[in-house]
Amino acid sequence: MSATIFEKGKNGKSHSYLPPHDCPLEKLDLPGRRKSALDLPVIGEQDLIRHYVELASKNYHIDKGMYPLGSCTMKYNPVVNEELARLEGFNGLHPLQDEEDVQGALELMYNLQEALCEICGMSAFTLQPAAGAHGELAGMMIARDYFRDRRENRKTVLVPDSAHGTNPASVVTCGFTPRTVPSNEQGLIDPAVLERETGPDTAVLMLTLPNTLGLFERDIARVVEIVHRAGALVYMDGANMNALLGIVKPGEIGMDIMHLNLHKTFSTPHGGGGPGAGPVGVRAPLEDYLPVPRVVKEKERFSLRQRADKSIGRVHPWYGNFNVFVKAYAYIRTLGAAGLREVAENAILNANYLMKKISQWYYLKYPGPCMHEFVVSGKNLKDYGVRTTDVAKRLLDYGLHAPTVYFPLIVEEALMIEPVETEKKETLDRFAAVMERIAEEARENPSLLLEAPLTTPVRRLDEAAAARSPELCWSGEERK
Ligand SMILES: *Cc1c(COP(=O)(O)O)cnc(C)c1O
């Protein structure tokens, strides 16, 4: 492991090309001002740059290789959209600027809302939520207040066992009680089971569509009818809309509330903790409940409407992550309707191609056809003492990122693979070839897998400790 910048800069020599400052020194006399100097590393400029370039080169990222992380849509996002988001006219704005001076920015937000309404067949969208799970929470708050105003005391939210993990969490955070709807042997909702579970206490059916098995609910029309007949709402988790663009408009198949992940489908990278956006769309009767402020257009002038009696209020400071909106809008305008549909077609084609190949060597519980992703199982390798974790770790030795593993929970030893629409056939073939090779290794030399990864900067970490008690600060002591 390489030394930290603190270790490298402990007794180091500074070297920089900046002239000495020539401003008079002003002594700040503030309460809480530290008495001693900060113990910062001292290091020359070139060594500093080398240190961080070395660290960066150890990282794996989408610009380095394929990233088949199921449900995360780790695709190539055009750099030109980043450049547009960085234009000074956007990047230099202040959220307190007068509406008159930021008409262009408001127009962009308004147009993006309109575009999302058109793409999804919804009546109105808010851009405010900062992530997918945040959108889910906002959507559930809308449902809660809607039933409160109707004086209906509905407390249960039905969540299929094929839903994304954040769904039941959002339900609980909002004060509802989740109730699991088991899927059938095809991995889909069984309308008869749903009918049994739905009752006067049901507020919402929260549907991940396509579900986490990458499957589209074949009985969606029946499903929606059952829920609506009971006076409840259907919420669609549309984080993986790259499977449906231009093919399905959720509003037209009865979805009442939905969210999107702009940082998956619409040209902002997902992951890394950067800014995201989880816009929420609703059908007409729910429009008044959307968060404020809302961007509205009156007589060619755009403004932020700050008050609405039924609104759930604010869910974000100001109005959301504006730079993400710029990228999404640029992406939508560049591709147009035909291009967006092609995104979905390629996502589906790539996933089915890879599923056919990989299911030769790994167990496929739900044969599909799939949408944007699929789930195979490593359980056929158990006979050789090898588990899915070992497959994932061995992939790293081949210079590939591992898929999502052990999710969804309804597939034993799950490997959830999303090739995404931007990978070409040669890349998919290489990934499949490596998966085949690893399955062979499992049979012929399983210890290779059990010891993997052999080539990475660190080997197997204690994952529980890494998540629960990470050591994030340098203690000042030399490491052994
Ligand atoms: C990614 C994802 C989410 C959560 O989105 P975040 O932005 O990570 O909060 C929710 N549902 C589905 C189906 C997803 O794929």
Q: Is the pLDDT of residue 52 over 90?
A: yes
CA distances from 235 to 208, 262, 281 (A): 8, 18, 10
The answer to whether residues 51 and 106 belong to one domain is no
Q: Are residues 13 and 162 located together in one domain of the fold?
A: no
pLDDT band at 205 (very low <50, low <70, confident <90, very high): very high
- Asked if residue 66 is part of any domain, the answer here is no
Residue from 161, 209, 212, 237 whose mutation best tests the ligand 1 pocket (most atoms within 8 A of CB): 237
Q: How far is the CA of 134 from the centre of ligand 1 (A)?
A: 9
- Together in a domain, 310 and 355: no
Furthest CA-CA distance within the chain? 79
Give the position, in ligand 1's atom list, of the atom nearest the Cα of 261. 7
Give the residue, by CA position, lying nearest to ligand 1 atom 10. 132
- Could you identify the atom of ligand 1 that is nearest to the CA of residue 133? 9
Residues with CB under 6 Å of ligand 1 are 71, 131-133, 164, 166, 208, 237, 239-240, 261, 276, 278
In a domain, 130, yes or no: yes
Residue nearest to atom 14 of ligand 1 (CA): 239
Domain co-membership, 254 together with 371: no
Confidence band (pLDDT; 50, 70, 90) for 17? confident
Sheet holding 404-405, edge to edge: 374-377, 414-417, 404-405
| Averaged pLDDT score across all residues of the chain | 94
Mention every residue, 6+ apart, whose C-beta is less than 8 A from residue 115.
329, 332, 333
CA of 261 to the centre of ligand 1 (A): 7
Tell me, yes or no, whether 159 and 238 share the same domain: yes
pLDDT of residue 479: 55
Place of tokens 């202040």: 94
Domain that holds residue 444: 343-466
Among 267, 302, 335, give the residue marking a domain's end.
335
Within a domain: 480:
no
pTM higher than 0.75: yes
User: Domain check: are 265 and 311 in the same one?
Assistant: yes
Closest ligand 1 atom to 278 CA = 7
CATH code, 364: 3.90.1150.10
Identify which of 368, 74, 337 has the alpha carbon closest to the alpha carbon of residue 210.
368
Over residues 281-304, the mean pLDDT reads 96
Nearest-CA residue for atom 2 of ligand 1:
239
Same domain for 274 and 321: yes
Residue 175 CA to ligand 1 centre (angstroms): 20
156 in the same domain as 184: yes
Structure tokens, 218? 């074949």
Structure tokens at 328: 């999404």
Output the CA angle 409-256-367, nearest 5 degrees.
35
Residue 242 and residue 372 in contact, taking contact as beta carbons nearer than 8 Å: yes
How far, in Å, CA of 181 to CA of 349, rounded?
29
Residue 260 lies in a domain: yes
Say whether both 211 and 240 belong to one domain: yes
User: Residue 7 burial by CB count (10 A; 0-12/13-18/19+): exposed, middle or buried?
Assistant: middle
Q: Are residues 143 and 200 in the same domain?
A: yes
291 shares a domain with 204 = yes
Distance CA 170, CA 141 (A): 10
Q: Which residue has the least CA distance to atom 3 on ligand 1?
A: 132
Strand 124-126 to 280-282 pairing: antiparallel
Per DSSP bridges, beta strands 156-160 and 177-181 are parallel
- Residue 293 located in a structural domain: yes
Q: For 115-168, give the DSSP string.
A: HHHHHHT-SEEE---SSHHHHHHHHHHHHHHHHHHTT----EEEEETTS-THHH
CA of 169 to the centre of ligand 1 (A): 12
Domain count, the chain: 3
Among 261, 316, 418, the mutation site with the greatest number of ligand 1 atoms within 8 A of its Cβ is: 261
Share of the chain above pLDDT 90, in %: 81
pLDDT of the residue at 260:
98
In this prediction, residue 293 carries a pLDDT of 95
Residue 432 covered by a domain? yes
Same domain, 331 and 362: no
Q: How far is the CA of 164 from the centre of ligand 1 (A)?
A: 7
With 80 as the cut, is the pLDDT of residue 274 above it? no
Ligand 1 geometric centre to CA of 214 (Å) = 14
- What is the CB neighbour count within 10 angstroms for residue 76? 14
Supply φ then ψ for residue 135, to 5 degrees: -65, -40
- Distance (angstroms) between ligand 1 centre and the Cα of 61 equals 19
At residue 272, the pLDDT reads: 67
Distance CA 430, CA 184 (A): 34
Residue 72 lies in a domain: no
* Residue whose CA lies nearest to ligand 1 atom number 8: 132
- For 424-449, write each residue's pLDDT tens digit: 999 999 999 999 999 999 999 999 99
- Measured by CA distance, the residue closest to atom 4 of ligand 1 is 132
Give per-residue pLDDT as tens, 101-113: 999 999 999 999 9
In a domain, 452, yes or no: yes
Question: Which numbered atom of ligand 1 lies nearest the CA of 212?
Answer: 13
Q: Give 1's pLDDT tier (boundaries 50, 70, 90).
A: low
CATH number for the domain harbouring residue 196? 3.40.640.10
pLDDT at 478: 58
The per-residue pLDDT for range 244-255, each reduced to its tens digit, is 999 999 999 999
Judge contact between 400 and 65, C-beta under 8 A: yes
Residue with the smallest CA separation from ligand 1 atom 15 is: 71
